[in-house]
Amino acid sequence: MTPARAPADLIAPVLGGDRRALARLITRVENRAPDALEALARLHPHTGQAALIGVTGAPGTGKSTLVNALALAMRQRGQTVGIVAVDPTSPFSGGAVLGDRVRMTDLAGDGGVFIRSMASRGSLGGLAAATGDVVRVLDAAGFAVVLIETVGAGQSEVDIARMAHTTVVVDAPGLGDDVQAIKAGILEIADILVVNKADRPGAQNTVRALRAMLELGHRLRNAGHHGAGLLPAPLETPAADTWTVPVIETVATEHTGIADVLAALDQHRAHLHSTGEIAERERQRVEAELLARLREALLARLLAAHDPATLAETVRRVVARELDPASAVRALVAAACGDGPPSA
């Protein structure tokens, strides 16, 4: 084996466009190697340039095929594209089969594209814990666009909305009745809705159900703005600075409708900039990330502060109904922080 280079030594080659160094650094970051943190810190000033686009939706809707078609179209207009495709880790073996590249063979042999498959490694929100850091490395490496494809997501895997500037939710005909569409969940995070496989029977029903759901959501939001609901909610009066979520039909395998999705992505990006919303999204993104890291760091410290036997004994007492879970946690936190209840 060639000696592994330390992450810090990979920074200059990554910034200079060395794809091998990029792949290696991503591995270190994905493995959450302690020395990768330093590399990420040094890359941070180089980030913030890429358009971060999330693609999510149920399994089998055609996310990978859509990503392939979008990336190809972006390449044709000269943008470089980094792709992070996340697939689930087996909860039993810890292994994973990552199959998104199968749909992305159109992009082979193009030095302006870099595709990286990631396993979710136990994370539940549709991404891996390290996905944000891998996206950051691709951003720093200078890709104009980073496409982030989530695990096949159903209803609550909404982490992508906090990571991406624009979230594309992909649906397809025949996946469920219109009750699925009115449930809360990933539809609410969509900036752009795509009905893929639009050449299949039932596609128009899916489009109609999604449009109806969007209209409803819009009215509810307006009603919320008008306080206690004393005034009737105004019908369909989108202000100039309100983003209207488009519903776009595609057949990604045939590249049909891809230009429309690309146009909607451009419009959404322009909207984020013209309204200043990009700054607010960036702020929310950073806040969510800081909270997640804080949670992880505090948990690690808290667990380190307790003897494993104490933890086992607490579990035993809760199981025996001698103690309830909330009181157990309060006691563990108080003991670790060396304090009683917080002073008022």
Partner 1 sequence: MTDEKIRVLIAKPGLDGHDRGAKVIARALRDAGMEVIYTGLRQTPEMIAEAALQEDVRVVGLSILSGAHMALIPRILEELRAAGLDDVLVLVGGIIPDDDIPTLLAQGVSAVFGPGTNTDDIVRFIRTALAAPSA
Q: 216 vs 299, which CB is nearer to partner 1?
A: 299
Q: Is 115 in the site for partner 1 (CB under 8 A)?
A: yes
Using the rule CB under 8 A, is 63 a contact of partner 1?
Answer: no
Half-sphere exposure of 47 (CA within 13 A, CB side): 19
- Residue 140: phi and psi, rounded to 5, are -65, -30
Is residue 102 part of the contact set for partner 1 (CB under 8 A)? yes
What is the C-alpha to C-alpha distance for residues 21 and 1, in angstroms, rounded to an integer?
Answer: 15
**Position 293 contacts partner 1 (CB under 8 A):** no
Q: Per-residue contact track with partner 1, 74 to 93, x per CB under 8 A?
A: ---------------xx-xx
β-strand partners of 168: 55, 192
- What length is written for the chain? 344
298 binds partner 1 (CB under 8 A): no
State the nearest-atom distance from the C-beta of 268 to partner 1, in Å. 28
Instruction: Using the minimum distance from each CB to partner 1, give the nearer residue, 37 or 318.
Output: 37
Q: Which stretch binds partner 1 (CB under 8 A): 51-59, 107-115, 303-311, 327-335?
A: 107-115
Residues 317 to 336 in contact with partner 1, rule: CB under 8 A: none
Q: Does residue 97 belong to the site contacting partner 1 (CB under 8 A)?
A: yes
Q: Exposed/middle/buried for 343, CB within 10 Å: 0-12, 13-18, 19+?
A: exposed
Taking the complex as a whole, the smallest distance from the CB of residue 89 to partner 1 amounts, in Å, to 8
Strands laid side by side in the 51-57 sheet: 113-119, 81-87, 145-149, 51-57, 166-171, 192-195, 247-249
* CA 220 to chain CA mean position, Å: 25
- Specify the stretch interacting with partner 1 by CB under 8 A; choose among 110-118, 156-164, 194-202, 213-221: 110-118
- 27 near partner 1, judged by CB under 8 A: yes
Cβ neighbours for 325, distance < 8 A, ≥ 6 positions apart: 318
Give the DSSP letter of residue 320: T
Q: Which is nearer to partner 1, 27 or 205 (CB)?
A: 27
Site string for partner 1, 251-290 (x = CB under 8 A): ----------------------------------------
Cβ–Cβ contacts within 10 Å for residue 184, how many? 10
- In the beta sheet, which residues pair with residue 114? 82
Binding site for partner 1 (CB under 8 A): 1-2, 19-20, 23-24, 26-27, 31-34, 89-90, 92-99, 101-102, 105, 108-109, 114-117, 119, 121, 300
